[in-house]
Structure 1
Amino acid sequence: MAKIVNYISESFEELKSNVTWPEWAEVQKLTIVVAIFSVLFALATWGVDEFFTKALAGFFNWIKA
Structure 2
Amino acid sequence: GNLSQSQVASLISSSDTIAFGTGPEAVSVMNGAFSLVANHEQSLWTALSTTQVSIILITLFIIAMGVYY
When normalised by structure 1's length, the TM-score is 0.32
Kindly indicate whether structure 1 or structure 2 has the higher relative contact order, using CA contacts under 8 Å at least 6 residues apart: 2
Structure of higher CA gyration radius: 1
Pick the structure with more helix per residue.
1
Pick the structure with more strand per residue.
2
